[in-house]
Amino acid sequence: MKKVLFLFLSLFICLSFSQNFNVPYKVYDFLPSQPGFNINYTKYSLDKSIQSTGLVKKILNPNTHKPEYCCGNEKFNYISNNKEYDQSFMETPGITKTVINTFTFNPLHYSDKTVKYAVSLNPFSPINGKGWNEGVSGQNRYWCIEGHYKFNYQISKTTSDFFSIYAGGDVSAFIDGKLVFEFAGTKDPQSAVNHKTLNLEQGKTYPYDIFICQRFDQNKPFGYLQFDTPFVLQCNNIPGINDDVCPPPSTQPPTTKPPTTPPPTIPPPPKCVAERDCNDNNPCTVDACSSSSTKIPSGSSFSNYCTHTPIKCDDSNKCKSNSCNVKNGKCEPLPEIICPPKKALSLFGIGIGCQPEICEPSTGNCITDSSKGLSDKLVC
């Protein structure tokens, strides 16, 4: 009997990992004038190292099932209080319009026999022509996404390790009501957690809640979403919270589709590395990749779009200038400008009727040295 049960469970797991599935999510659409949106991306994109966390509390609100504002985003400072943040996931007449969309997860099979489910969307523009932009062409840029799901924690040899979301703007994800990852920055916005570190119990069903916001202005491209899970997700009906998105279990239609051929794994887009792609072998220039807003045609070399900024040396004193040495990239002094006196008459190599001159630091030009006495002016 145990052997039959084991074979049945193994067959069930294999079948589960061979199917794709759909889950719904709600989008809150905002007007650009709403506080906390239409953020100046150019202002914050100069420092690519910014990865800010601490925007929300570590525990999901048990009554609203939504994240709560914690401490603010110290490096961005684009949300300054809980009122601005809480509106992100509230239906407010005249401020928000809601749209219900669907994520389709496809299985990805790896060489080590593990499988994960993934949503790969590029571009990712979930409400173009909807919400406040219904019937209007162009990008609808200011929105937040809310998704409430659940999964059965059944680990097998084919189970992959990570839940992850690759997106822009701010992202927070909760498993069993606890914050497992969060992101609100500009540098390669990818967040993930290994489920083996969460002390989950085999066979138990857990809630998985995700929240994503796109708040930046038109200078921030939000064209790519990678949403991965090692387990099949189901819409988690929370009475009074998401009945409009997720019908009660008794009326919820099946979310799985017939088995399909696994799609190829989508590699991440290549990235420019200044030391490798932009080196002009001139130590007196600072080599840098092009800005993130630069569109590089497919097949083109990154080197065609690099910048090479000359190193600036101190030249505040034009009489004692410094210049970059191309052999070592260091600023080194040039020969000092010495101004010889002007001679009215030269007799046997001796100047008679002289005008002493000195180098002017601000221009590097020779000017009359008014500090010299009469004796210096007679003979030189």
Query: pLDDT (tens digit, 9 = 90+) per residue, 36-95?
Result: 776 666 666 666 555 567 778 999 999 999 999 887 555 555 676 777 788 889 888 888
Contact, 173 vs 221, CB < 8 A?
Answer: no
Region of 335 on the Ramachandran plot (φ > 0 left; ψ -120 to 50 alpha; else beta): beta
Using DSSP's 3-state secondary structure scheme, residue 302 falls into helix
User: Is the Cα torsion angle 56, 174, 23, 227 positive or negative in sign?
Assistant: positive
Q: What residue type is assigned to position 81 of the chain?
A: N
Tell me, what DSSP letter sits at residue 316? S
Residue 277 and residue 304 in contact, taking contact as beta carbons nearer than 8 Å? no
pLDDT of residue 257: 63
Global pTM exceeds 0.75: no
Cα–Cα dist 334/320, whole Å? 7
Find the angle CA(43)-CA(48)-CA(53) to the nearest 5 degrees.
90
Sign of CA dihedral 166, 167, 168, 169: negative
Give Cα separations from 297 to 244, 272, 305 (angstroms): 42, 13, 11
CA 207 to chain centre: 27
pLDDT per position as a tens digit, 202-220: 999 999 999 998 877 766 6
Q: Which residues contact 195 (CB under 8 A, 6 or more apart)?
A: 153, 161, 162, 163, 175, 230
Positive/negative CA dihedral, 116, 122, 124, 125? negative
* Intervals of the chain under pLDDT 50: 1-17
